[in-house]
Amino acid sequence: MSGGAPGARTPVPGIPDVYAVVYEHGASGDLAAGDFALGEWTPSWTPAEHAAAVSSVREAIGRGDVYQVNVVGHTSAPYTGSPLAALHRVAALPGARYGGVLTGPGWALATASPETLVEVRGGRVITRPIKGTRPATAEGRRELLASVKERSEHVMIVDLSRNDLSRLPGVGPVTVDELFAVRRWSHLWQAESVVSAPVTGPLGLPDLLRALVPGGSVTGAPKRAALAEIARLEPVGRGVSMAAVGWVGPGHVDLGLTIRTVAADGERLHAWAGGGIVWDSDPGAEVAEAAAKLAPIKAALAGR
């Protein structure tokens, strides 16, 4: 984000920050071929360090520096052979609105993201922020719908999304078309809202990216202050995670936020997960939530 604090260096420097595929199909990159074997996962911070970062955000909230900060952890594992079949299993996870694999020279990216960063279709610009997670059980759904903490956290991000859209040139009044709707992704319930505005004048891709990147649901509020906390706390950069992937065509843009995403370089697989921290967040529960988000990804990669 222009004016935002730069974060830590990406753990996957071989993947470019911006990559475009123009009318190309069936690209496979040049990752090593052979039987796939996955090693042990090594996190970039311990559960205790993750919990300490959550507590640090709560202190920043208590000082009035921020209202909410999304704290994200990273883990990686060595592999041998070709990871492409495993990455396609990730992309096929149920509930993925943006499921696919992108490859380049010596790297690959798989996403099973359910979250729309921005879509322009039918004369409207739309964003669908997701915030709030529970296990996909009947009890988990009831807990999510009844949680004051999850709802207040979610509404903060909806307000941030409304503000982001209102900054765009060439759009009319911003509306919240759906608030705190519960959707399923793999083995989790998630709360999603739909925020949109009519396109009333010239609106270019640079305008969309300046207004909405990085997404509010993976940063926090106020966004620049949240980015400063993220840069201070997270041990490694997010790289291609929490960014955007999708397509751009005449009169139609559809970009998904790259949550639930795995990156492969020539030696290791990389994955990220986290959650939004507010004043009444429990550090242990936040660490457990990040692990729950990673569990389907790890299981798919392992072929379980």
- Supply 6's token pair: 């730069």
Active-site amino acid positions? 115, 131
3-state SS track over the chain: CCCCCCCCCCCCCCCCCCCCCCCCCCCCCCCCCCCCEECCCEECCCHHHHHHHHHHHHHHHHHCCCCEEEEEEEEEEEEECCCHHHHHHHHCCCCCCEEEEEEECCEEEEEEECCEEEEEECCEEEEECEEEEEECCHHHHHHHHHCHHHHHHHHHHHHHHHHHHHCCCCECCCEEEEEEEEEEECCEEEEEEEEEEEECCCCCHHHHHHHHCCCHHHCEECHHHHHHHHHHHCCCCCCCCCCEEEEEECCEEEEEECCCEEEECCCEEEEEEEEEECCCCCHHHHHHHHHHHHHHHHHHHHCC
